[in-house]
Amino acid sequence: MIPQSFIQDLLARVDIVEVIDRYVKLKRSGANYSACCPFHTEKSPSFTVSPTKQFYHCFGCGAHGTAIGFMMEYGGMGFVEAVKDLAQGVGMQVPEAPRSAEAQRRAEEAPDLLGALLKAAQFFRAQLKDSPRAIEYLKKRGLSGDIAKAFGIGYAPDAWQGLQQVFPDYADKALTAAGLVKQNEEGRRYDVFRDRIMFPIVDVKGNIIGFGGRVLGEGEPKYLNSPETPVFEKGRELYGLFQARRAIRDAGRVIVVEGYMDVVALAQMGVGYAVATLGTATTPLHVQKLLRQSDEVIYCFDGDSAGRRAAWRALENSLAQLSDGKQLRFLFLPDGEDPDSYVRQHGKDNFEALLGQAMPLSRFLIEELRRQCDVHTAEGQARLLQQAKPLVRQIAAPMLSLLIRKELAQIAGIDARQLDAQFEIKSAAGNAAPRRRAAPLTPSILRTILELVVAEPGFAAEIAHSDLALGVGTAGIDQTELLALRSAVERIGDGGAKINLGEAFRDSPHQTLILAAEAGALRWQELAPAELEAEFRDAWQRAFDRIRRARIAELLEKSRQAPWTPAEQDQYRLLQQALAPAPGK
């Protein structure tokens, strides 16, 4: 686990404007920078980056975060990977927990592997230029020199030890660890990739982490992939994602296909928003990465039985990653077609028209279940529900889950509540009797104070912990906002140390409110310091008066049921004195 102190130190050294400007061209706009949002399609800029607060916010889609969050959402990185990437850029070493000897060995090998893989890729590209046969093959597949260059396509010569030309130390262990060289039982070493078109696999940072090799002409296997190594994990990576990111944002969708050549052929024809899995089924990690890139994912498969099986595995691995507002669809191509052949024969416009006919995940799920059951009989309906139950229970999108359950209940001829009972799904509303409670504190008051504390952390020192504690558990006070404010005040302390609250409260119960307060803090930044302080003092005075009144009302309610304790008597007297108007007013 990376210490929070390191995270805060990192964010203090990293310039979020510089980080984001590498990928999205920012323009100065008053105290901030702005651009069209990289996370949704828009014509006028609503994406704002604050250099003083070191966070970004989109007023259109609500995207919000730090430099770490941007690398996760835009780059598709995991949290640790994003932290390491930013730390490397500012010369910081990420502290890590002690590792086993094996883990240490793998970590030490990783830098050598990246260097070896890059050197091999350069060799393969140079070999392509000197291989008329390989060039002719690519031309027959409709690929231009520009597209081959964009994807770094090369050629592995038909030689047992071709890589020895660029690796004089052919016995270097990095070559075997990177999956470039193997050794037979007699101890003789040889190249893994021979006489193949080479497709470099690139991670989100632009590092070459492996290869896919396509045989020229006949031969098995048709495609040969690098083995898993310390830098390459098939279940995490997607071919072409690095090259496709801009096109994905522009199109607002991403296509998942099955082969390297499909990705490259689509890009050649102007459909640059396609990626491919790497010889494995779509995994939950793939889905997470894809949904960070776009709100719409289209799985494109052959229409045969193998294609439908692959689509079903993709569906199963997508259910737990879904959220309302995201859309996953499935496209099955005509018999005998794949994306490569279809787009070359019918063109970009016809292919994109076909994408528009892709089947929503909900429709594919229900149609596949119906296809396997005779829903005109009670037995078939029971089987349908029995097969649907484990799938529906995985769906993470509440509204989508509800609508699918309603349709399944209608097919089975039962009430939706009966289906939920059989599926062991509790109603969101619950069965508890409604509780009577006093009118809640207007959320905007505590939220406003939280925004002002984010805008000027020094205000946190002016809020007494005892004053906030008075409202904890008190009826009529919004506890969610109060506890978030109390946690923020405690975390900031005296305001002397610069704290990024968004990262400090990542994955905590207060995260949603803290991020909303960061976004709201942008509206206060144009005020002069004296005006900002006046706003804070007024808001806190109003909020604290309401907390006092709510506590007084609670004490009076209690007095009707039991006598006060001496401490409660003293508290009531002090609260009444605090609320009494000053003499002469």
Per-residue pLDDT of the chain (585 residues; tens, 9 = 90+): 788 889 999 999 999 999 999 888 899 998 899 999 887 777 889 999 999 889 999 988 888 999 999 988 887 677 888 899 899 888 998 887 665 666 566 555 555 788 999 999 999 999 999 999 999 999 999 999 999 999 999 999 999 999 999 999 999 989 999 999 999 988 899 999 999 999 999 988 788 999 999 998 777 888 899 999 888 988 889 999 999 988 998 898 999 998 899 999 999 999 999 999 998 889 988 998 898 888 899 999 988 888 899 999 999 999 998 888 889 999 999 988 999 999 999 999 999 999 999 999 999 999 999 998 988 999 999 999 999 999 999 998 899 999 999 999 999 999 999 999 989 887 544 443 333 333 333 446 888 899 898 889 889 888 988 888 888 888 878 888 889 899 998 888 866 667 888 888 888 888 888 888 888 888 888 888 888 898 898 888 888 888 888 888 888 887 888 888 888 787 788 877 776 554 444
pTM for this structure? 0.65
Superfamily of domain 372-423: DnaG, RNA polymerase domain, helical bundle (1.20.50.20)
pLDDT at 177: 92
Superfamily of domain 4-89: Zinc finger, CHC2-typedomain (3.90.580.10)
- Rounded Cα gap, residues 547 and 20, in angstroms: 42
For residue 547 the two structure tokens come to 């907390």
Q: Where are the beta strands (DSSP E) in 283-370?
A: 296-302, 327-333, 359-360
What phi and psi, each to the nearest 5 degrees, are found at residue 247?
A: -65, -35
- Rounded Cα gap, residues 488 and 516, in angstroms: 13
Which residue do the tokens 């909303």 mark? Answer: 516
Q: Is 57 exposed, middle or buried (0-12, 13-18, 19+ CB in 10 A)?
A: buried
- Rounded Cα gap, residues 140 and 424, in angstroms: 56
432: left (phi over 0), alpha (psi -120 to 50) or beta: beta
Interior/surface letters 466-485, b for 16+ CB within 10 angstroms, e for the rest: eebebbeebbbbbeebbbbb
Measured at the CA of 558, the angle between CA 554 and CA 559, to 5 degrees, comes to 120
Residue type for position 249: R
Q: Which ranges in the chain are annotated with CATH 1.20.50.20? A: 372-423
Residue type for position 425: I
Write the CATH number of the domain with boundaries 443-579.
Answer: 1.10.860.10
Q: Where are the beta strands (DSSP E) in 417-476?
A: none
For residue 149 the two structure tokens come to 């260059």
pLDDT at 432: 38
What phi and psi, each to the nearest 5 degrees, are found at residue 137?
A: -60, -45
In whole angstroms, how large is the CA radius of gyration of the chain? 30
pLDDT at 99: 58
For residue 261 the two structure tokens come to 């050549």
pLDDT at 433: 37
- Rounded Cα gap, residues 411 and 1, in angstroms: 48
pLDDT at 227: 92
Give Cβ neighbours of residue 217 (< 8 Å, ≥ 6 apart). Answer: none
Q: Which ranges in the chain are annotated with CATH 3.90.580.10? A: 4-89
pLDDT at 523: 85
Q: Say how many C-beta atoms besides its own lie within 10 A of residue 353's C-beta.
A: 11
Q: Where are the alpha helices (DSSP H) in 91-218?
A: 101-129, 132-140, 145-150, 173-177
Q: Where are the alpha helices (DSSP H) in 143-240?
A: 145-150, 173-177
- Rounded Cα gap, residues 403 and 102, in angstroms: 49
Superfamily of domain 101-225: DNA primase, catalytic core, N-terminal domain (3.90.980.10)
Write the CATH number of the domain with boundaries 241-365.
Answer: 3.40.1360.10
